């Protein structure tokens, strides 16, 4: 498009008839320069228009006339788009802005020229206006600078829009970060849950959910390892299948929940009897499988069976009911009964079924040699039951004397079993009796027999003589013990002060709270309580304050070692001193020499028992000893005093 200056020069040449040779008048030059360039923004014309308006010359008037003549006939109607000037700003803003430097030289040159004669304007208007000048392009020239819309607010709006966009982006970034953090937390939680579920799966595979014991799969793995170890070291191991007798009746009468409680209690009882290296698992239902490595002798199998049966002898308190439980055991030995896991488990199962066929509460061994030992053990149990009924048991007696005078103050009853091959001590069959459920019946028989014999001796003239009876932990835990003792005393006529009950310290520690309760009830009957075997195992001097006692009996092993061991001597001295503060009598067991007796007198021990005082003897032999003592009491000579001390 040609520039505005060229256009106006052409236009003036048409008016004057000479393009270059004739001089233009100042008015014409001013009109040509005053016409704005449609390609430049309106803001650039404002200074130029202001400069022209500052000089109201004749040329300016002529220019105005030319501009009026050049405008189309409907020029007033062109003012209507002035109100829409902001719409035309977009294309105007893209054109280069004319600077004042470009306008100033034109003004100087125009001001120096002589204004030419002005031709009639109608010709120029007729030729130029339709061809070159559009109303939309001329309209901005007629708009005063004051009417031009201000452009200054545009940068502020853009800045606000940019700031709003930044705030929006920051919010989006914040939301993305929060989402990322939540996703990371969810992923960590999912991983933790996955790890927990894996642990639970492994636990379910290796542990029984009801009892907490090992599962059958875990038991099989351990048995495989134990077999390899036994083969390498030439050892034996035993696999035991233990099934409860009559467990189905418990579920039918009390419900499955009480049955589950019973299984948990049985599992705890069995687990408490095993060694550290043993393994117990729940196979199915009421059947437990036990792995016992390190079997050295075939006879150890009988000991194992007795321990497991003994663990179930105490009643289980389930749902307010005291349940007595028995079990049938089947035992298989490696390598006698098989070289692998399946064979051993099968052999133990077969042996358990044979035990149940016998009526339950028994055990059987799959190996022929071990089966012979088991048969012998069960035969002994049967004979002991018959001995209790047929009167083959009897009591032996050992005197307890004063350390200084040698006077017999009481006699201790000791259970014996008279058999065809000789007399067996209680230590030889008491464990079997406990396992067979005969501990309480044997204890009742011994208590009654001792009270009967004590009453006979008192009627024979030994008024101050007391009898001592040992009671086991099984008896102490029995709920009817106090009633039984009271009934026996009433039926035999023995004074309660003439009866002493001896309880081992180790048995009291199995259930201290129950022991304290039972002993307190027995003392209220008027009899005396003696703590036996003090100083062995886990003896505590605090027990002298905790339990309701009347006397303590120091173990013979401590008394025998006191002559050469200062530590044992210190134990005896401390026990005697503490017993005196509690007003307890002190009895020393296992006294075998006169030197020991002298030491006990020096330590202020009250009484003693042992071979020096007299070995265990029958009731008839003890009666003769009591008669000699009474005769010696009637003749208090020096020789009889020495004889009394030696109990000749």
Is residue 198, in this structure, part of any structural domain at all? Answer: yes
Residues 449 and 490 in one domain: yes
Q: What is the mean pLDDT of residues 302-325?
A: 83
Angle at the Cα of 82 (from 81 to 88), degrees rounded to 5?
Answer: 75
Task: Find the DSSP H helices in 113-207.
Answer: 121-131, 135-142, 153-206
Predicted pLDDT at 467: 96
Predicted pLDDT at 629: 84
Q: How many CB atoms lie within 10 A of CB 482?
A: 16
Is residue 551, in this structure, part of any structural domain at all? Answer: yes
Predicted pLDDT at 561: 85
Predicted pLDDT at 635: 66
Estimate the crossing angle of helix 439-459 against helix 368-390, to 10 degrees: 30
The overall pTM is greater than 0.75: no
Predicted pLDDT at 33: 39
pLDDT at position 138 over 50: no
Residues 50 and 133 in one domain: yes
Please tell me which of 49-63, 119-133, 222-236 the model is most confident about, judged by mean pLDDT: 222-236
Q: Is 581 exposed, middle or buried (0-12, 13-18, 19+ CB in 10 A)?
A: exposed
Q: How confident is the model at residue 4 (pLDDT cuts 50, 70, 90)?
A: low
Tell me the C-alpha to C-alpha distance, in Å, between residue 112 and each of 58, 106, 115, 180.
14, 10, 9, 78
Q: How far apart are CA 593 and CA 179, in angstroms?
A: 91
Range of the domain at 120: 4-147
Is residue 122, in this structure, part of any structural domain at all? Answer: yes
Predicted pLDDT at 6: 62
- Check residues 276 and 451 and name the one with the higher pLDDT: 451
The set of residues, in sequence order, having a beta carbon less than 8 Å from that of 378 and lying 6+ positions away, is: 362, 363
- CATH code, domain carrying 330: 3.30.70.270
Q: How confident is the model at residue 408 (pLDDT cuts 50, 70, 90)?
A: very high
Is residue 338, in this structure, part of any structural domain at all? Answer: yes
Q: How far apart are CA 137 and CA 114, in angstroms?
A: 30
Predicted pLDDT at 296: 79
Predicted pLDDT at 411: 96
Q: How far apart are CA 349 and CA 523, in angstroms?
A: 49
- Chain centroid offset of residue 485 CA: 47
Read off the pLDDT of residues 610-627 as tens digits, 9 standing for 90 and up: 999 989 999 999 999 998
Residues 577 and 529 in one domain: yes
Is residue 225, in this structure, part of any structural domain at all? Answer: yes
Least confident of 80-94, 256-270, 348-362, 513-527: 80-94
Least confident of 93-107, 412-426, 537-551: 93-107
Residues 138 and 156 in one domain: no
Output b/e per residue, 433-457; b: 16+ Cβ within 10 A: bbbbbbbbebbbbbbbbbbbbbbeb
Residue 363: cis peptide before it, omega within 30 degrees of 0? no
Q: Are 361 and 240 in contact (CB under 8 A)?
A: no
Read off the pLDDT of residues 332-341 as tens digits, 9 standing for 90 and up: 888 888 888 8
pLDDT at position 110 over 60: no
Least confident of 13-22, 257-266, 471-480, 569-578: 13-22
Q: What is the mean pLDDT of residues 589-613?
A: 91
Q: How far apart are CA 4 and CA 169, in angstroms?
A: 49
Predicted pLDDT at 459: 92
Predicted pLDDT at 429: 84
- Check residues 628 and 158 and name the one with the higher pLDDT: 628
How many domains does one find in the chain? 4
- What would the two tokens of residue 146 be? 């004051």
Least confident of 105-114, 153-162, 344-353, 586-595: 105-114
Residues 511 and 552 in one domain: yes
pLDDT at position 542 over 60: yes
Predicted pLDDT at 153: 52
Write a three-state SS string for 36-84: CCCCCCHHHHHHHHHHHHCCCCHHHHHHHHHHHHHCCCCHHHHHHHHHH
- What would the two tokens of residue 619 be? 């009731």
Residues 134 and 241 in one domain: no
Q: What is the mean pLDDT of residues 74-91?
A: 41
Q: How many CB atoms lie within 10 A of CB 191?
A: 10
Q: What is the mean pLDDT of residues 320-335?
A: 87
- CATH code, domain carrying 490: 3.20.20.450
Q: How far apart are CA 315 and CA 325, in angstroms?
A: 7
* Bridge partners for 328 per DSSP: 243
Output b/e per residue, 341-369; b: 16+ Cβ within 10 A: bebbbbbbbebbebbbeeeebbbbbbbee
Residues 498 and 634 in one domain: yes
Q: How far apart are CA 583 and CA 317, in angstroms?
A: 38
Is residue 536, in this structure, part of any structural domain at all? Answer: yes
Q: What is the mean pLDDT of residues 460-467?
A: 91
Is residue 305, in this structure, part of any structural domain at all? Answer: yes
Q: Are 415 and 397 in contact (CB under 8 A)?
A: no
Residues 184 and 265 in one domain: no
Q: Are 308 and 329 in contact (CB under 8 A)?
A: yes
- What would the two tokens of residue 440 be? 């309480």
- Chain centroid offset of residue 436 CA: 39
Edge-to-edge strand ranges of the sheet holding 327-334: 279-284, 287-295, 236-244, 327-334, 363-365
Q: How confident is the model at residue 101 (pLDDT cuts 50, 70, 90)?
A: very low
Q: What is the mean pLDDT of residues 596-604?
A: 91
Residues 320 and 357 in one domain: yes
* Bridge partners for 262 per DSSP: none
* Ordered DSSP codes for 202-253: HHHHHB-TTT--B-HHHHHHHHHHHHHHHHHHT-EEEEEEEEETTHHHHHHH
Closest CA to 414 of 449, 440, 385, 390: 449
Average pLDDT of every residue of the chain: 75
Q: How confident is the model at residue 369 (pLDDT cuts 50, 70, 90)?
A: low
Coil, strand, or helix at residue 478? coil
Residues 38 and 104 in one domain: yes
- Check residues 53 and 562 and name the one with the higher pLDDT: 562
Residues 453 and 516 in one domain: yes
Read off the pLDDT of residues 163-208 as tens digits, 9 standing for 90 and up: 788 888 888 888 888 888 899 888 888 888 888 877 766 666 678 8
Last residue of one domain, picked from the residues 101, 123, 147 = 147
Is residue 307, in this structure, part of any structural domain at all? Answer: yes
* Ordered DSSP codes for 602-618: HTT--EE-STTT---B-
CA pseudo-torsion sign 317, 321, 326, 332: negative
Q: How far apart are CA 613 and CA 451, in angstroms?
A: 22
Predicted pLDDT at 631: 81
Least confident of 426-435, 543-552, 572-581, 612-621: 426-435
pLDDT at position 585 over 60: yes
Q: How many CB atoms lie within 10 A of CB 281?
A: 24
Tell me the C-alpha to C-alpha distance, in Å, between residue 506 and each of 172, 414, 496, 534, 547.
76, 19, 25, 9, 13
pLDDT at position 580 over 50: yes
Q: How many CB atoms lie within 10 A of CB 646?
A: 13
Last residue of one domain, picked from the residues 124, 147, 170 = 147
Q: Is 146 exposed, middle or buried (0-12, 13-18, 19+ CB in 10 A)?
A: exposed
Q: Are 322 and 340 in contact (CB under 8 A)?
A: no
Coil, strand, or helix at residue 600? helix
Closest CA to 331 of 311, 355, 358: 355
Last residue of one domain, picked from the residues 202, 231, 265 = 202
Q: What is the mean pLDDT of residues 571-588?
A: 88
Predicted pLDDT at 302: 75
CA pseudo-torsion sign 228, 230, 236, 237: negative
Q: How confident is the model at residue 17 (pLDDT cuts 50, 70, 90)?
A: low
Predicted pLDDT at 137: 46
The set of residues, in sequence order, having a beta carbon less than 8 Å from that of 331 and lying 6+ positions away, is: 238, 239, 240, 241, 301, 304, 305, 348, 351, 363, 364, 365, 366, 370, 374
Residues 80 and 159 in one domain: no
Output b/e per residue, 626-645; b: 16+ Cβ within 10 A: beebeebeeeeeeebeebbb
pLDDT at position 402 over 90: yes
Q: What is the mean pLDDT of residues 293-319?
A: 81
Predicted pLDDT at 83: 40
Length of the chain: 648
Predicted pLDDT at 359: 81
């Amino acid at each position: 498009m040609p520039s505005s200056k060229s256009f106006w020069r052409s236009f003036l040449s048409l008016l004057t008839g000479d393009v270059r040779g004739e001089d233009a008048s100042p008015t014409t030059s001013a009109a040509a320069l005053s016409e704005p360039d449609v390609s430049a923004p309106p803001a650039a014309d404002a200074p130029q228009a202001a400069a022209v308006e500052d000089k109201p010359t004749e040329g300016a008037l002529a220019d105005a006339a030319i501009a009026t003549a050049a405008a189309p006939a409907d020029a007033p109607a062109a003012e209507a788009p002035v109100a829409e000037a902001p719409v035309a700003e977009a294309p105007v803003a893209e054109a280069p802005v004319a600077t004042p430097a470009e306008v100033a030289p034109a003004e100087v040159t125009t001001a120096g020229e002589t204004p030419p004669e002005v031709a009639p304007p109608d010709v120029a208007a007729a030729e130029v206006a339709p061809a070159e000048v559009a109303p939309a392009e001329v309209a901005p020239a007629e708009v005063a600078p004051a009417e031009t819309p201000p452009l200054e607010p545009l940068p502020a709006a853009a800045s606000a829009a940019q700031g709003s966009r930044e705030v929006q982006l920051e919010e989006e970034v914040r939301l993305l970060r929060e989402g990322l953090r939540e996703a990371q937390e969810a992923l960590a939680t999912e991983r933790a849950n996955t790890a927990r579920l894996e642990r639970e799966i492994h636990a379910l595979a290796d542990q029984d959910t009801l009892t907490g014991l090992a599962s059958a799969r875990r038991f099989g793995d351990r048995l495989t390892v134990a077999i390899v170890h036994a083969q390498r070291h030439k050892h034996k191991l035993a696999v035991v299948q233990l099934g409860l007798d009559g467990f189905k009746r418990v579920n039918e009468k009390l419900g499955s929940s009480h049955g589950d409680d019973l299984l948990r209690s049985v599992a705890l009882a069995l687990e408490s009897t095993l060694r550290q290296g043993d393994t117990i698992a729940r196979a199915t239902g009421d059947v437990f499988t036990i792995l016992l490595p390190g079997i050295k002798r075939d006879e150890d199998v009988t000991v194992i069976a007795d321990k497991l049966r003994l663990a179930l002898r105490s009643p289980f308190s389930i749902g307010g009911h005291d349940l007595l439980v028995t079990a049938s055991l089947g035992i298989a030995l490696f390598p006698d009964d098989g070289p692998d896991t399946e064979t051993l488990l099968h052999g133990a199962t077969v042996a358990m079924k044979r035990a149940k066929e016998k009526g339950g509460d028994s055990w059987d061994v799959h190996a022929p040699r071990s089966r012979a030992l088991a048969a012998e053990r069960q035969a002994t149990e049967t004979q002991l039951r018959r001995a209790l009924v047929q009167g083959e048991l009897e009591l032996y007696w050992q005197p307890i004397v004063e350390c200084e005078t040698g006077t017999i103050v009481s006699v201790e009853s000791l259970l014996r079993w008279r058999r065809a091959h000789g007399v067996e001590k209680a230590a030889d069959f008491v464990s079997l009796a406990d396992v067979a459920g005969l501990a309480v019946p044997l204890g009742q028989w011994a208590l009654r027999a001792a009270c009967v014999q004590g009453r006979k001796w008192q009627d024979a003239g030994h008024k101050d003589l007391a009898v001592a009876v040992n009671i086991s932990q099984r008896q102490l835990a029995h709920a009817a013990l106090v009633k039984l003792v009271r009934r026996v005393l009433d039926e035999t006529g023995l004074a309660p002060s003439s009866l002493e009950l001896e309880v081992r310290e180790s048995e009291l520690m199995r259930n201290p709270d129950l022991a304290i309760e039972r002993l307190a009830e027995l003392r209220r009957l008027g009899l005396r309580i003696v703590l036996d075997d003090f100083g062995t195992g886990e003896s505590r001097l605090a027990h002298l304050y905790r339990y309701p006692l009347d006397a303590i009996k120091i173990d013979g092993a401590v008394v025998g070692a006191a002559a050469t061991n200062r530590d044992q001597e210190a134990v005896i001295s401390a026990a005697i001193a503490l017993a005196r503060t509690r007003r307890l009598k002190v009895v020393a067991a296992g006294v075998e020499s006169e030197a020991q007796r002298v030491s006990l007198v020096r330590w202020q021990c009250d009484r003693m028992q042992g071979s020096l005082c007299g070995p265990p003897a029958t009731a008839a032999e003890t009666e003769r000893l009591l008669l000699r003592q009474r005769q010696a009491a009637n003749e208090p000579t020096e020789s009889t005093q020495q004889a009394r001390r030696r109990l000749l």
